């Protein structure tokens, strides 16, 4: 039994989302996590995850191991007992710790594969709920964005303490993702923004209000089939992220490179200080934007169509 799940990227609203403003995120189907479950002749549950150099028996892993915890919580939710001998193969093309939702994608693919294997297929809502429980287990206070975008494979509009909303683009559009290759220390950047906010709340609340307007307008443009208008919003959002001190020389250089190469707009994506930037490009020029980013020092690029 095979199952897969895509990656994800934040389009607008990172950091402001912590302060109860909306954020937009979209699936990235050019990268994915694949899981295959089959019966095994060997005793126990054999796990093979070549991307992270893991070959192990489930019983040998601690219960809080990222993969073991998904298997154990899924089996518990399905009420499977006793557990038959299984072989699990997990492969992923989603870069780890790059803000692309690699952990949530593996969780969703594992839950899908196991529930279908045991003839107990879960609907998307149940998969999402279980994946969120696993995210909470590892991240304490996750937003729920990653697991929702990845489970439903749809764009998401998210605001803290409000129900997450999925929505459909009125017209496809193309995003080029450029990876700085620098690990994105999200906790550190979130903590730094909090310190700035505590020091001057009126100023930073005003910034978050501006970003909230950008996210709301972006959703409107996407739903109404006018994605070409997102470029200017990206540029503005990036300026506010610079004011929040979460950009970096490397991110700024890639953002500027994308604009000069013909992108309609560009910004950092995610926690900042490293990780990824994104650019809105015409499908015909996406390859040349990606090439310019590689020449400017990006470690990898992904061209994805949001539809």
CA dist., res. 60 & res. 46, Å (int): 10
By CB atoms closer than 10 A (0-12, 13-18, 19+), residue 15 is buried
Neighbours of 123 (CB within 10 A): 9
Dig out the tokens for 205 from the structure: 């609340």
CA dist., res. 125 & res. 86, Å (int): 26
Of 256, 262, 259, residue with least CA distance to 285 = 262
Dig out the tokens for 64 from the structure: 């809080």
How far, CA to CA in Å, does 181 sit from each of 102, 187, 265? 15, 18, 21
**For this structure, is 235 an active site residue?**
no
CB 301 within 8 A of CB 278: no
Dig out the tokens for 31 from the structure: 């990268």
Cα three-residue angle 114-51-77, rounded to 5 degrees:
20
Dig out the tokens for 216 from the structure: 């709301």
CA dist., res. 183 & res. 172, Å (int): 30
- Choice among 34, 57, 124, 146 that is catalytic: 146
**Tokens 């006793």 label which residue?**
82
Dig out the tokens for 75 from the structure: 């089996």
The continuous run of DSSP H or E covering 9 comes out as: strand 2-12
Distance of CA 85 to the CA centre of its chain: 32
CA dist., res. 174 & res. 195, Å (int): 36
Please identify every residue annotated as catalytic.
146
């Amino acid at each position: 039994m095979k199952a897969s799940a895509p990656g994800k990227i934040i389009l607008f609203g990172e950091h402001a989302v912590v302060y109860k403003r909306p954020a937009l995120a979209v699936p990235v189907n050019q990268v994915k996590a694949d899981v295959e479950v089959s019966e095994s002749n060997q005793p126990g549950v054999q796990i093979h995850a070549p991307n992270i150099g893991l070959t192990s028996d489930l019983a040998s892993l601690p219960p809080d191991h990222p993969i073991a915890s998904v298997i154990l919580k899924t089996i518990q939710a399905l009420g499977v007992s006793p557990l038959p001998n299984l072989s699990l193969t997990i492969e992923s093309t989603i870069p780890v710790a790059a803000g692309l939702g690699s952990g949530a994608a593996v969780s969703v693919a594992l839950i899908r594969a196991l529930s279908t294997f045991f003839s107990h297929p879960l609907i998307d809502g149940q998969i999402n709920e279980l994946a969120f429980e696993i995210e909470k287990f590892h991240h304490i206070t996750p937003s729920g964005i990653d697991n929702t975008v990845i489970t439903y494979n749809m764009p998401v509009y998210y605001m803290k303490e409000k129900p997450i909303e999925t929505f459909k683009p009125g017209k496809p559009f193309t995003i080029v993702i450029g990876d700085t290759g620098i690990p994105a220390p999200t906790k550190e950047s979130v903590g730094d923004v909090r310190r700035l906010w505590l020091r001057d709340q009126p100023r930073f609340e005003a910034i978050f209000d501006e970003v909230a307007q950008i996210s709301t307008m972006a959703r409107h443009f996407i739903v109404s089939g006018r994605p070409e208008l997102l470029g200017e919003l990206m540029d503005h959002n990036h300026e506010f992220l610079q004011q929040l001190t979460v950009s970096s020389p490397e991110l700024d250089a890639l953002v500027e490179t994308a604009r000069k190469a013909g992108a309609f707009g560009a910004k950092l994506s995610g926690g900042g200080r490293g990780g990824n930037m994104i650019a809105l490009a015409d499908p015909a020029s996406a390859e040349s934007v990606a090439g310019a980013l590689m020449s400017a020092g990006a470690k990898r690029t992904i061209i994805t169509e949001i539809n």
